[in-house]
Chains A and B, each alone.
Chain A
């Protein structure tokens, strides 16, 4: 049996007497791994982090870090005894200290650590907060406060770092750069991290694994590729909002038939008996544009997304189907025009429910 660095076993996460997420189990295998938890607002993601940090108590299950039980029905280590750091979504800086003092308070905890792995300067450069070091929390913007809070958590070099929507207030233009830097530093320092976010791109980029929390449950915990391409439930598909479900009939080992699109080939993820009626997950990149094709659907809408267009097409059964087309494609189709789909349709992983 392999020993996981961090484990959550059958935990009900509560706020007071109200259960937010039930019977959650997941593990982080190695020290330094980063995982992300995704879910809509108010679902209980923050509650999970607060419980792991020791700020909320648990009544069922156990949380184990590096072989030591942090929380269980009988054990509840105080937050200050855990060496777990949580960077809050909202500003939680000490209002009467400068940003520099706020950050350096984080380093006090690990003074005794023999090998100092990161300095204040490094962290300040990394998060680009040099200009606010002498300011007080009320004098800086929400995005800067978030970066300062992140800096304080990072400098602690905790055994487990919990980040609650760490970049939600950071400007879009700067966000991607910070994501790259964050990933690099977490990797360098080997800080095991759980990031909570509602931004799936952020989760897919930063996390080696992603957990999807929906309807009070952890629906799927897998690597990002699988979460995206092989969602395990209709709820996950709907949450990620990356495709549609169309009715189809299984016609062979590698084929199925849709009334609008005809025959579709590919590899089934799960086996279905021939003749079974299923819901096929159709993602925008599954269909290819082909002006010469005789399968033509009507354009209902066209969205420009920089590198791509997303066309929404109406099938004869009135189903609306999204299709990606590279934005350098020569022909642009207007609304009400016909749009050709390449045949035969081939989907690498056929996901059905």
Chain B
């Protein structure tokens, strides 16, 4: 085969993304300090137990909220159903750690709930009767209300493309609505729902901010502690490996249970657009209430809590250098998204024009970065740079490169790149899948070179996909916490890190301002891209 520019670019990009991922896997066989023994004797079981409980609870809750709300807005018309269709994805703007701050702020002793009761009913000893959503329950709620949108979006997309024919078939067989939902609609949407739940599972196991805030010991905090407190990178990596096994076990379980069943419908032949059922009376009220409750709890509640505190303690607004934080956040977002889009595009095109097995395997591996928690990636990156610096750079007599990559914008952006590469790569890939390969061939036959085909045919076609990917990546970077915390340069803060630092110093009121800004910027991004996220206009 001919080695061309596109092959080499694609190869190098994939390889770069894989290196830290391989570091995680290779360190599984490294020697560790006695922290492992200490941990095994003390907390390991607790870590595993907590992680499992957390995972299972979040999956159940997100399944119920995500699938339930998607079913209602896809199949029925009720008051504000069109509004909820996109409003339900706004929960993405609230990362779990900010949700955790809101929960605490509202329900803590003398918190917002107390103030409301006091204003309504006068002074009283309300603290004892206000429920406390902290600890494991707090984490489960924070993660679930922030991440259910993954299940909602994918389930809804799947429901949307279910043909009226299969629903009619259910009626014809004499099924009740519940039976039709349970035995036709839900199974047909199963791959989409499972894909959504897998994303939730990965994010849950990787969650750092909320878990740390509620002081729950999970595998992720174990990783963080083994690195921060015991300086045992190898063990941190081994725990990460163990954590990844959790995720793979889930995938395998689902795949086995699915066997050979087919779930895809040919949307061209015999596809009949669904007619939504008009609800009225009690049913309409119940459907509305369910969606409103989800919208309220996932978005309005944390947003109003943060607004309330910002208004109540306006001095925090002036203490913070908002403009600096905004510039820092945008700087990271723009730089990282641009890099991700450019390299994601080049790599996709390289794969498309070369159809090479090695390249294919490399890119498949390279997109596994998303399954690896940010804490682990940051640690693995530091491990790799330290090793490379000690064993290669110094041996060659060059000046240490550690400062260039650790505690610098360069390092931070590179790790964002590795972490979110799969998002960019897959996003662009799904855009590319809509371009038939004969379009490329036609272009060559019109005399266009590969470069010209890329520039003149593909990029204009992928314009919308690129915008969507850019914003999706930006959204992730704005919310991202552990990588930024570990790798940011000294005195370089974003909205996320400022919120985290204030919260970890028990200054929740001060965390409100950066949290509010973060939510507002993220909300703006979501609204801009809601059309693409919901895929109403795409086929």
Identify the A interface with B (CB < 8 A): 50, 53-55, 78-80, 82-86, 88, 90-96, 105-106, 108-109, 149, 152, 156
Chain B residues numbered 434-451 whose CB sits less than 8 Å from any CB in chain A: 434-436, 438-439, 441-449
Q: Does B457 contact A (CB under 8 A)?
A: yes
CB atoms of A80 and B448 under 8 A apart: yes
Contacts of A88 in B (CB 8 A): 438, 441-442
Residues of B within 8 A of A93 (CB): 439, 442
A93 to B457, CA, bound (A): 11
Q: Given that A92-B436, A94-B457, A96-B461 are known contacts, is A106 also in contact with B441, CB under 8 Å in the complex?
A: no
A109 to B434, CA, bound (A): 26
| Interchain CA distance A109-B448 in the complex, whole Å | 9
Chain B residue with the shortest CB-CB distance to A92:
B438
* CB-based contact B441/A90 at 8 Å: no
A92/B441 in contact, CB under 8 A: yes
Asked whether B461 lies within 8 Å of A94 as measured between CB atoms, the reply is yes
A88 and chain B: residue at smallest CB distance: B438
Q: How far is the CB of B357 from chain A (nearest CB, A)?
A: 12
Instruction: Determine the distance from Cα of A80 to Cα of B448 in the docked complex, in whole angstroms.
Output: 6
Nearest chain A CB to B144's CB is how many angstroms away?
A: 39
Minimum CB–CB distance for A95 against chain B, Å: 6
In the complex with contacts A94-B457, A94-B461, A80-B447 CB distance below 8 A: yes
Sample of 22 A–B contacts (CB below 8 Å): A53-B441, A54-B444, A78-B449, A79-B444, A80-B445, A80-B447, A80-B448, A84-B445, A86-B445, A88-B438, A92-B438, A92-B439, A92-B441, A92-B442, A94-B442, A94-B443, A95-B439, A96-B460, A105-B446, A109-B446, A152-B442, A152-B446
Say whether B441 contacts A79, CB under 8 Å: yes
Contacts A94-B457, A95-B461, A96-B461 given; does A53 touch B439 at CB 8 Å:
no
Distance to closest chain A CB from B439 (angstroms): 6
Contact A108–B446 (Cβ < 8 Å) = yes
Nearest-CB distance from A65 to chain B (Å)? 14
A156:B439 contact, CB within 8 angstroms: no
Given the complex, which residues of B lie within 8 Å of A83, measured CB to CB? 447
Q: In the complex, are the beta carbons of B444 and A55 less than 8 A apart? A: yes
Asked if residues B434 and A95 are in contact (CB atoms below 8 Å), the reply is yes
Cβ contacts under 8 Å, B449 to chain A? 78, 80
For A92, the chain B residues whose CB sits under 8 A away are 436, 438-439, 441-442
What are the interface flags for B390-417 relative to A under an 8 Å C-beta threshold, 1 for contact and 0 otherwise? 0000000000000000000000000000
Q: How far is the CA of A106 from the CA of B445 in the complex (A)?
A: 9
| CB nearest neighbor in A for B448 | A80
Chain A residues, Cβ within 8 Å of B434: 95
- CA–CA, A80 and B444, complex, Å: 5
**Taking CB as reference atom, which chain A residue is nearest B442?**
A92
Minimum CB–CB distance from B454 to chain A (whole Å) comes to 13
A93-B443 Cα distance, complex, nearest whole Å: 9
In the complex the two chains form, what is the Cα distance from A80 to B353 in whole Å? 14
Contacts of A50 in B (CB 8 A): 441
**Could you tell me the distance in whole angstroms from the C-beta of B507 to the nearest C-beta in chain A?**
51
Query: Which of A79, A85, A93 gathers the greatest number of chain B CB atoms within 10 Å?
Result: A79
**Which residues from B are CB-within-8-Å of A79?**
441, 444-445
Interface residues of B (CB under 8 A from A): 434-436, 438-439, 441-449, 457, 460-461
List chain A residues, Cβ under 8 A from B446. Answer: 80, 85, 105-106, 108-109, 152, 156
Q: Is the Cβ of A78 less than 8 Å from the Cβ of B444?
A: yes
CB-based nearest B residue for A90: B438
On whether the beta carbons of A95 and B438 are closer than 8 Å, the reply is: no
B449 (CB) vs chain A CBs: closest residue: A80
CB distance from B332 to the nearest CB of A (A): 32
Q: State in angstroms the CA–CA spacing of A82 and B436 once bound together.
A: 22
Q: Do the beta carbons of A95 and B441 come within 8 Å of each other?
A: no
Q: For the complex, give the distance between the alpha carbons of A109 and B447 in Å.
A: 6
Q: Tell me the complex Cα distance, A149–B438, Å.
A: 12
Our pick among B445, B447, B448, B460 for the contact of A53 (Cβ within 8 Å) is B445
Residues of the B chain whose Cβ atoms lie less than 8 Å from the Cβ of A91: 436, 438
Q: In chain A, what residue has the closest Cβ to B453? A: A80
Residues from chain A with Cβ under 8 Å of B443 in the complex: 94
Q: How far is the CA of A55 from the CA of B444 in the complex (A)?
A: 9
Residues of A near B447 (CB, < 8 A) are: 80, 83, 108-109
The docked-state distance in angstroms from the alpha carbon of A325 to that of B439 is 49
Question: Does the CB pair A85–B436 fall under 8 Å?
Answer: no
Looking across the interface, which residue of chain B has its beta carbon closest to that of A158?
B445
In the bound complex, do residue A86 and residue B441 qualify as a contact, i.e. CB atoms below 8 Å apart? yes
Q: Which of the listed residues B436, B441, B442, B443 has the most CB atoms from chain A within 10 Å of its own CB? A: B442
Not counting A55-B441, A96-B460, a sample of 17 additional A-B residue pairs whose C-beta atoms are within 8 angstroms of each other reads A55-B444, A79-B444, A80-B444, A80-B447, A86-B442, A88-B441, A90-B436, A92-B436, A92-B441, A92-B442, A93-B439, A94-B443, A94-B461, A106-B446, A109-B447, A149-B442, A152-B442
- Complex-state Cα separation, A94 to B443, whole angstroms: 9
Shortest Cβ distance from B382 into chain A, in angstroms? 44
What separation, in Å, do the CA atoms of A41 and B444 have in the docked complex?
26
Given contacts A95-B434, A95-B435, contact A85 B457 (CB under 8 A): no
- A84→B444 CA distance, assembly (Å): 10
Q: What's the nearest-Cβ distance from chain B to residue A177, in Å?
A: 26
Report the Cα distance A84→B447, complex, angstroms: 9
Residue on A with the closest CB to B464? A96
Of all chain A residues, the one with the shortest Cβ separation from B1 is A57
In the complex, what distance in Å separates the CA atom of A156 from the CA atom of B436? Answer: 21
Q: Which residue of B lies closest to A81 (CB)?
A: B447
Residues of B within 8 A of A85 (CB): 445-446
**Complex Cα distance A90/B441, Å?**
12
The docked-state distance in angstroms from the alpha carbon of A91 to that of B437 is 11
Cβ distance B474 to chain A, nearest Cβ, rounded Å: 24
* Complex-state Cα separation, A109 to B445, whole angstroms: 10
Interfacial chain A residues near B460, Cβ < 8 Å: 96
- Distance in angstroms from A96 CB to nearest chain B CB is 4
Please give the distance in Å from B452's CB to the nearest CB on chain A: 8
Q: Which 9 A-B pairs have the closest CB atoms?
A: A92-B438, A79-B444, A109-B447, A96-B461, A92-B442, A80-B444, A88-B438, A80-B447, A55-B441
A95 to B439 CA separation, bound complex (whole angstroms): 8
Task: Give complex CA distance A94, B460 in Å.
Answer: 10
The residues of B that contact A105 with a CB separation of less than 8 Å are 446
C-alpha gap A149/B442 in the complex (Å): 9
Task: List A contacts of B442 (CB < 8 A).
Answer: 86, 88, 92-94, 149, 152
Give the complex CA separation of A152 and B443 in angstroms.
11
Expressed in whole angstroms, the Cα–Cα distance for A82 and B445 within the complex equals 8
Nearest-CB distance from A288 to chain B (Å)? 47
Name which residue of chain B comes closest to A96, CB basis: B461
Report the minimum CB–CB distance from A160 to chain B (whole Å). Answer: 11
Distance of A54 Cα from B438 Cα, bound (Å): 13
Q: In whole angstroms, what is the CA distance A54 to B449 when docked?
A: 13
* Min CB gap B398→A, angstroms: 41
Chain B hits for A96, CB < 8 A: 460-461
Interface centre among B434, B444, B461 (most CB of A within 10 A): B444
Minimum CB–CB distance for B466 against chain A, Å:
13
A82 nearest CB across to chain B (Å): 8
In the docked arrangement, what's the CA distance between A105 and B442, Å? Answer: 11
Expressed in whole angstroms, the Cα–Cα distance for A108 and B443 within the complex equals 12
Task: For residue A55, give the distance in angstroms from its CB to the closest CB of chain B.
Answer: 5
Report A88 CB to chain B, min CB distance, Å. Answer: 5
Cα distance A96–B439 in the bound complex, in angstroms:
11
Which chain B residue lies CB-closest to A109?
Answer: B447
| Closest-CB distance, A12 to chain B (whole angstroms) | 19
User: Judging by beta carbons under 8 Å apart, are A94 and B444 in contact?
Assistant: no
Query: A49 to B69, alpha carbons, bound, how many Å?
Result: 52
Min distance, Cβ A238 to any Cβ of chain B, angstroms: 32
Taken together as a complex, chains A and B put the C-alpha atoms of A90 and B444 apart, in Å, by 17
A22 to chain B: closest CB distance in Å? Answer: 24
- In Å, the complex CA distance between A85 and B461 comes to 23
Q: How far is the CB of B438 from chain A (nearest CB, A)?
A: 4
For the complex, give the distance between the alpha carbons of A149 and B441 in Å: 13
The minimal Cβ–Cβ distance linking A110 to chain B, given in whole angstroms, is: 9
Nearest to B452 among chain A residues (CB) is: A80
